Amino acid sequence: MARDERGPTAQSEDFSTWYNELVVKAGLVDRGPAKGTMVIRPYGYRLWELLQSELDRRLADTGHENAYFPLLIPESYLRREAEHVEGFSPELAVVTHAGGKELEEPLVVRPTSETVVGAMMARWIGSHRDLPMLLNQWANVVRWEMRPRMFLRTTEFLWQEGHTAHADEAGARAETDLALGIYAAVARELAAMPVVPGRKTPGERFAGAVETVTIEAMMRDGKALQAGTSHYMGTNFARAFGIRYAAADGRDTLCHTTSWGMSTRMLGGVVMTHGDDRGLVLPPRLAPWQVVIVPITRGASAGEVVAAADELAARLRAAGVRVRVDDRDQTPGWKFHEWEMRGVPVRLELGPRDLAAGTAVLVRRLGDAGRETVPLAHVPEAMPGILAEFQTHLLERATRFRDEHTRAVDDWAGFAAAVARGWAVALHCGRPACEDDIKAETAATPRCVPLDGRADSGACVRCGAPSAYGRRVIFARAY
């Protein structure tokens, strides 16, 4: 069958193709002209803006100030921190010519901004009175991708990157945890993603970090998505860039720094956490339109019905609901299908008979929900509650799914079975060679050592050597 004839691929049929088709078809994103780039279309960008504004507010409330650092960074800056340059070199895009000439020193397009922020902090920080310095920037970054995938791995993506400098380790570690806490809250409360916060094992740390903490989310194919990370850098970057301060007693002291980021990758996470065979399912708090009203117009009554739909929309807007009236020249069935595919939480159908009866038909975008007749007069006051309930339901459903696909395992056969369909929670020796071996056998990698894991120790699930970390580790295939 030709591609266009056979309709969209179902999630249950081929998860990967379902995702790749859906994000484009739903109008979230499109492929850009240069390899691996994406265009974020208005429907996807609005989702990002809604996430962004809430995250920005929480960062401001905790004392962070927004700033903006340059996109182009002298190549030599990256080399000042040895692990950092090693980690990022393979992914760099490099400007070698500008203004019609070859540059004396190539400029890299920022893959992340620790180096340039470090150089500036070194200039700005003089005394302990300047600390902590809590900065954040909203920016684009470029990391060359061999196997791009919309939102998850693209040559360019949007994110915020926090960069902070502190007088000591305790301050910097508290900041690292604070940022992760904000990410976890935003993921749960806005994206309805029941993320697991945990520590990365040494092999999975950010290039140049002393410690990386992460929130890991489970997608509906059982894979893990790293949805946000926060890094304690120790004095590595402070030493490389000279971020020093005069302590109260006058001593010249190195700062301890952190960085942390959350990106447009989250949009892919929302798609793969809640979507189903019919398309997207958007959490109300991130849905560009939380409610769509479809007027069922036939002949003479059309004007009256559309007017009533517009009036209902105005009342919903006054109640703080993001609503759209779809009065386009298409059949109701076409519109139902379109808005289901695009994941709008609630659809209201309004026809002449409904109008006469003073009711509307309400349909929730949930796998198991039926049609419900509701009195028109009560719709606006009821809607915030209906949306809040929808939001809660998504988080609960995703939590159930995650728990049903997570297994504590103590033997290799159980481990392999667990990571084939979800997450394995296992004891591990912590040796890089053993991690590599597990990855070669199952494609699974250590995602994190959950912060709330109980003390546990014993034999490594793979090699039988004594376990590390004092706790179990989550292993999974990952995006």
Cis-peptide into 384, omega within 30 deg: no
Which residues in 148-207 contact a copy of itself (CB under 8 A)?
155-156, 158
The minimum distance between CB 282 and a copy of itself, in angstroms, equals: 17
Question: Is residue 74 a contact point for a copy of itself (CB under 8 A)?
Answer: yes
Question: Is residue 28 a contact point for a copy of itself (CB under 8 A)?
Answer: no
**Single residue of 20, 72, 332, 459 touching a copy of itself by CB under 8 A:** 72
Three-state SS letters, 404-458: HCEEECCCHHHHHHHHHHCEEEECCCCCHHHHHHHHHHHCCEEEEEECCCCCCCC
Question: Is residue 68 a contact point for a copy of itself (CB under 8 A)?
Answer: yes
Nearer to a copy of itself, 70 or 367 (CB): 70
Identify which range of 86-94, 373-381, 443-451, 468-476 contacts a copy of itself by CB under 8 A. 86-94
**Single residue of 17, 96, 392, 457 touching a copy of itself by CB under 8 A:** 96
The minimum distance between CB 124 and a copy of itself, in angstroms, equals: 8
Query: Reduced to 3 states, what is the DSSP secondary structure of residue 20?
Result: helix
The sign one gets for the Cα dihedral 319, 184, 89, 19 is: negative
The minimum distance between CB 381 and a copy of itself, in angstroms, equals: 26
Of 280, 294, 477, nearest to 394 by C-alpha is: 280
**Single residue of 3, 4, 61, 129 touching a copy of itself by CB under 8 A:** 129
Instruction: For residue 434, give every residue at least 6 positions away whose Cβ sits within 8 Å of its Cβ, in sequence order, or none.
Output: 428, 460, 462, 463, 465
Q: Would you state the structure tokens that stand for residue 211, as one six-digit string?
A: 């410690």
Nearer to a copy of itself, 131 or 426 (CB): 131
How do strand 256-263 and strand 291-295 relate by DSSP bridges? Answer: unpaired
- Rounded Cα distance between 319 and 313, Å, is 10
Question: Is residue 123 a contact point for a copy of itself (CB under 8 A)?
Answer: yes
Task: Give per-residue burial for 362-392: e unless 16+ CB within 10 Å, then b.
Answer: bbbbbeeeeeeebebeebbeebeebbeebbe
Question: Is residue 100 a contact point for a copy of itself (CB under 8 A)?
Answer: yes
Identify which range of 84-92, 183-191, 331-339, 411-419 contacts a copy of itself by CB under 8 A. 84-92
Nearer to a copy of itself, 40 or 225 (CB): 40
Question: Is residue 314 a contact point for a copy of itself (CB under 8 A)?
Answer: no
Asked if 348 and 291 count as a contact pair (C-beta separation under 8 A), the reply is yes
Quote the distance between the C-alpha of residue 95 and its chain's center.
29
Instruction: Count interface residues toward a copy of itself (CB under 8 A).
Output: 58
Question: Is residue 70 a contact point for a copy of itself (CB under 8 A)?
Answer: yes
**What is the residue whose two structure tokens read 């691929």?**
9
Nearer to a copy of itself, 246 or 374 (CB): 246
Question: Is residue 98 a contact point for a copy of itself (CB under 8 A)?
Answer: yes
The minimum distance between CB 87 and a copy of itself, in angstroms, equals: 13
Quote the distance between the C-alpha of residue 417 and its chain's center.
27
Q: Would you state the structure tokens that stand for residue 275, as one six-digit string?
A: 């979507």
**Single residue of 10, 39, 82, 377 touching a copy of itself by CB under 8 A:** 39
Q: Which residues bind a copy of itself (CB under 8 A)?
A: 30, 32-34, 37-42, 45-46, 48-49, 65-74, 77, 89-100, 106-107, 109, 116, 119-120, 123-124, 129, 135, 139-140, 142, 144-146, 155-156, 158, 328-329
